[in-house]
Amino acid sequence: MTTTRAPAVERLRHLPASERRAELESMVTEQFRAVLLIPDDEPVPLHESLFALGMSSVLIGEVQHRLSDLLGQNLHSSVLFNSCTVAQVIDYLTTDVLPDMFPQSASPPTALPPAITRVLWDNVLHEMGAGAA
Amino acid sequence: MISYEHTIAARIAEHARHRPDVAAILFEDVRVSYAELHAESNRVGHALLRDGLDRGSRVAYLGRESHHFYTIAIACAKIGAVLVPVNPRLTTVEINHVLRDSTAEILFVEHEFVSVIEPLRADLAALRQMVDMDAPGARYGRFLRWFAGGPTHDLDLPVDTDDPVAQMYTSGTTGLPKGVILAHRTFFTFIDNMRRAGVDWIDWRPEDRSLSAFPGLHAGGYAWFMHSLSVGATSIVMQSFVAGEAGALIERHAVTTLWAAPAMLQIVLSEPDAGPHRFRSLRKIVYGGSPISPELQERCMREFDCDLVQAYAAAETGSFVTCLRADEHTPGHPKLGSAGRICPGNDLRILDEAGVELPPGQPGRICVRTPAEFIEYANRPDETAAMKVDGWLRMGDSGYLDDDGYLYLRDRINDTIIVAGQNIYPVEVENVIRTHPHVADVAVYGVPHPRWGEVVHAAVVLAPGAQVSPRQLMLFLRGWIADYKVPVGYRFLDSLPRNPTGKVLRRVLRAEDGGARAPTTGAPRTAGTAS
């Protein structure tokens, strides 16, 4: 699945396997830090609900694009809507997006039930739906 | 004189008579034919009458989209009642306002949102009845029981094409949503005028399978559905817009026409499983509701192998005002940066501040005359009078016409911010930020964004000695305003830039954030806004 030459991916590729997870975590949390306006001296909570962290539909779209740019490939928009926490996003990236670099990953799939996906998507619906006839 | 022909009631009865077995709605695994939709909406109409609803009554719906939403909408149309869709993603404060302002007498509500309504009920004097749609383990079970067993014969009530049929709430200049009241005629005049002119710039055909990415809870989606219904096409209904699902639905149902905002098209195109196999059934995509970047416009031309049409409209215009035709969507076409030409039956002129019409090339306020126009704003006669002057709608956008009559949008006169097609008035966000104990002053403005059209930013003046971080402000706003209205960027200033009369200069703040709204970008603005 990983076919790009995105600098971030190349950087991961050149790291020892044991260090890749930490580096990926650092890259991903920086994207969340930026959009959630979390100060540099505060940690990005990995296991707190994205919505409790202040994630909105606009911000989710923003993170999706940032991660797509970072990894050099279009990420399914359901990735973030199917993930409750930053850690789950990272798990998904290691198992489904960069599996060749994380072959030992034993993380379970992160998908949530469709009903939850639906609720989260409704935020996008709301932001896009009104206004013009 | 009653004009029944151009009513939703007349049109569905006609389709039920002449093409009863054609699918009117496809929703998940449910197929509803025109005969079934007609009979079911008759039943619901009779049940509404039974429960005391009547001509002019407001019928609210809080939930997501389904075939039942449209059954209720059509039932309202048949008895002369007015549907008030309530977006479940509004905050409790906003939902309370919509229900109070509309004086809704009955509310249909999906079960998961009942808990939102319960605390409000004591305040809602007009609300006599609430129908919880769902029963335990039976989606829509209570709703089905509510009207079960009723008669299916036609209601035969006097309904006129000028009667109100829907009250759609949109962001209000004063901080709370305002109700735009639309008539039956709104959903017929555009098609009639295009036919009369012999053009098909934007068209609906009986054989179409039509998908609106805008939900029916909003003017754009509701209008698209009713236009499709008026010709007897099949509407594909999504509970909500889901990118992967939208692409899959297009493929599964061989969708022929799609109505979407540019941001939605970008999301659909960006899905990993997007590709020609998904879109081969499409014959036409109509997009609008927010600006489109030249890059996305080019991408759509490249990747969707079908006609593309851009439209300019607003809730108040009821239907499309201008359109950039499919044959003008070619790489390098000189009019690509425009919002197109006026559609048949409409009229458009550009006025200066004194109300004098301006010649081509000179920017001013866009004014529109259209037979599809809204009736009025609910309970806001002054705002209605300011919007409708001498038969013209005074749009909230400025722009100019070129020598060929193509409209170029420049700016929004009233500082409206449009995030992916959603209007946001700065004052409604500012009012909430001001309630923060550490905030002395604030100005909210839009900054151009490549994906959303614009995003919301705030310039904040803190109280002396106070300290608050952008993140604290962001979290403070949650729950008070809908999440897409929460600013994504904050700056702290000692004072706000103001003109000599004290008016905040939002354009200065925008420019300082690198977001001057210049007319030279070539990116058309497609969302109309009321002043």
User: Does the pLDDT of residue B170 top 70, yes or no?
Assistant: yes
Q: Which of B418, B483, B490 sits opposite A131 (nearest CB)?
A: B418
Name the closest residue on chain A to residue B525, using Cα atoms.
Answer: A132
**Chain A residues with CB inside 8 Å of B170's CB?**
130-131
pLDDT greater at residue A125 or residue B273: B273
Under DSSP, the state recorded for B216 is T
In the numeric block, the tokens 């019409």 are attached to: B357
User: Does the pLDDT of residue B144 top 60, yes or no?
Assistant: yes
Residue A122: what pLDDT?
44
Total domains in the fold of chain A? 1
> What's the Cα-to-Cα distance from A81 to each of A35, B48, B341, B440, rounded to whole Å?
16, 38, 39, 36
Q: Which of A35, A118, A127 sits opposite B484 (nearest CB)?
A: A127
Partner residues linked to B287 by β-bridges:
B260, B310
In the numeric block, the tokens 């540019």 are attached to: B262
User: Does the pLDDT of residue B108 top 90, yes or no?
Assistant: yes
Determine, yes or no, domain membership for A1: no
Listed range (A20-34, A107-121, B49-63) with the worst mean pLDDT? A107-121
Segment A95-122 shows an average pLDDT of 56
The CATH code of the domain that includes A36 is: 1.10.1200.10
Residue A133: what pLDDT?
31
Total domains in the fold of chain B? 1
Residue B502: what pLDDT?
63
The CATH code of the domain that includes B473 is: 3.30.300.30
User: Does the pLDDT of residue B169 top 50, yes or no?
Assistant: yes
Determine, yes or no, domain membership for A2: no
Asked if B213 lies within 8 A of A128 by C-beta distance, the reply is yes
Express as a percent the part of chain B with pLDDT over 70.
Answer: 94
Segment A64-88 shows an average pLDDT of 81
Query: pLDDT tens for residues B229-253?
Result: 999 999 999 988 876 788 899 999 9
Dist. CA A94–CA A105, nearest whole Å: 7
Query: pLDDT tens for residues B172-198?
Result: 655 678 999 999 999 999 999 999 999
User: Does the pLDDT of residue B142 top 90, yes or no?
Assistant: yes
Domain that holds residue A97: 7-128
Asked if B214 lies within 8 A of A128 by C-beta distance, the reply is yes
Tokens found for residue B202: 């934007």
Q: Which of B215, B312, B318 sits opposite A129 (nearest CB)?
A: B215
B146: left (phi over 0), alpha (psi -120 to 50) or beta: alpha
Output phi, psi for B157, to 5 deg: -100, 150
Residue B263: what pLDDT?
78
Burial degree of B361 (CB within 10 A; 0-12, 13-18, 19+): exposed
Q: Which of B219, B420, B471 sits opposite A133 (nearest CB)?
A: B219
Express as a percent the part of chain B with pLDDT over 90.
Answer: 67
Dist. CA B487–CA B334, nearest whole Å: 36
Dist. CA B77–CA B381, nearest whole Å: 24
Stretch 489-518 of chain B: residues touching chain A, C-beta under 8 Å: 490
Name the closest residue on chain A to residue B488, using Cα atoms.
Answer: A35
B171 touches chain A (CB under 8 A): yes
Domain that holds residue B489: 417-518
CA distance A123 to chain B (A): 7
Q: For residues B425 and B173, is the Cβ–Cβ distance under 8 A?
A: yes
Determine, yes or no, domain membership for B150: no
Residue B518: what pLDDT?
34
Helices (H), B169-254: 189-197, 219-231, 243-252
